[in-house]
Amino acid sequence: MTKIVFLDRDTIGPAVTISRPSFPHEWVEYGKTPESEVTERIRDADIVITNKAPVRETSIKAAPKLKMIAVAATGYDVIDLAFAKERGIVVSNVRGYAVNTVPEHTFALIFALRRSIVGFREDVIAGEWQRANQFCFFNHPIRDLANSTIGIFGGGTLGQSVTRIAEALGMKVMFAGRKGASEVAQGYTPFETVLEEADIISLHMPLKPETRDLIGIEEFRKMRKHPLIINTARGGLVNEADLVTALNEGLIAGAGFDVLTREPPAADNPLLTVLDRPNVILTPHVAWASDEAMQALWAQVIGHVENFEKGTPSNVL
């Protein structure tokens, strides 16, 4: 009988119905799996399901029956993909499930920062409205999105969904070309130009060696319009120490981040030192996690497992 091991159930919200494959199988489920315990837990598995528990070469070598890894996410950097392919193991991921939830979270951050929602809320709690002694007060900047420019880094499904919302709000959209490229494809704007002209920069791209630290202090110093920086994509795309420097020097208007290089953040993460500022919002990697999106994600995971069992694997990496 096919043995399926789900390594990290707790990474999927409790509101999600965890359906199981229709074919006969043995199901083993763990809430969390530290990297040190992956090898033992998948040792006799035929199929492994993981969201963030890493499955590396050492663990794969110790699992002679392993035939498939279903990644309950779009990003697959937790898998040693090259070695899995070498062993003939199918690796499938989920795609397109976050087409609403991530863009909506992106704009939640943009609206909150552009209109200083956090700052005004904190002031009201602190009694500033009473002290103002008039119907309103003006402690923080408020800017419209209409007629502003958003620079989108990443032209995939999520970048396109963000574009549709931006255009509906009357924003000008620029898609950034590749960093360092001498030429850009049709419909894209040179990387440097986007840095210089965007009022808001929003990241929607995977983390790869060539995109790590895509934005650092050199790029921040080129941001002539002091934009908001929004990252709902991957930690590591923005150098976090340089981000704090940019905030301290007024190079950017604010930052809305849902992802960090290390999650949860280490105690010495520089971003933790600026979380009390009204122009900084950090959410705990939940842009993907609407109830609707997570249920759609799980349906894909089980669909891929079913398809593999039928001999027609889907979303193979």
Residues marked active site are found at 234, 263, 285
CB-based burial label for 248 (10 Å; 0-12, 13-18, 19+): exposed
User: Is the pLDDT assigned to residue 2 strictly greater than 90?
Assistant: yes
- Whether 306 has a pLDDT exceeding 90, the answer reads yes
Give me the pLDDT at residue 28, please.
98
Tokens 């083993």 sit at which residue? 28
Q: Is 235 helix (H, G, I), strand (E, B) or coil?
A: coil
Q: Which helix (H) or strand (E) holds 125?
A: helix 117-125
- Tell me the pLDDT of the chain averaged across its residues: 97
Q: Does 114 score more than 90 pLDDT?
A: yes
Q: Tell me the percentage of the chain whose pLDDT exceeds 90.
A: 97
Angle at 161 between CA 148 and CA 278, to 5 degrees: 50
The string of pLDDT tens digits covering residues 13-34 is 999 999 999 999 999 999 999 9
Q: Are 98 and 158 in contact (CB under 8 A)?
A: yes
Sign of the CA dihedral with 293 first, then 294, 299, and 302 last: positive
**pLDDT band at residue 182, thresholds of 50, 70 and 90?**
confident
Token pair for 307: 């398809």
- Report pLDDT digits (tens) over 119-170: 999 999 999 999 999 999 999 999 999 999 999 999 999 999 999 999 999 9
Q: Virtual CA dihedral for 80, 53, 155, 92, nearest 10 degrees?
A: 60
Q: Are 257 and 231 in contact (CB under 8 A)?
A: yes
What's the pTM? 0.91
Strands (E), the chain: 2-6, 25-29, 47-50, 68-71, 90-92, 149-153, 172-175, 200-203, 228-231, 254-257, 280-282
Amino acid (one-letter) located at 246: A
Q: Would you call 90 helix, strand, or coil by DSSP?
A: strand
Task: Kindly report the backbone phi and psi dihedral angles of residue 296, in degrees, each rounded to the nearest multiple of 5, phi listed first.
Answer: -65, -40
Give CA separation, 84 vs 68, 69, 287, 308, in Å: 9, 9, 29, 15
Same fold, 2-97+291-310 and 101-282: yes
Q: Which CATH architecture has domain 101-282?
A: 3-Layer(aba) Sandwich (3.40)
Q: Summarize pLDDT for 220-234 with one digit per residue, the tens.
A: 999 999 999 999 999
Rounded to an integer, what distance in angstroms lies between the CA atom of residue 191 and that of residue 156? 16
Give the CATH superfamily of 2-97+291-310. NAD(P)-binding Rossmann-like Domain (3.40.50.720)
- Hunting for tokens 């069992």 — which residue is that? 309
DSSP 3-state assignment of 282?
Answer: strand
Separation between Cα atoms, residue 197 and residue 189, nearest integer Å: 10
Give domain limits for the chain: 2-97+291-310, 101-282
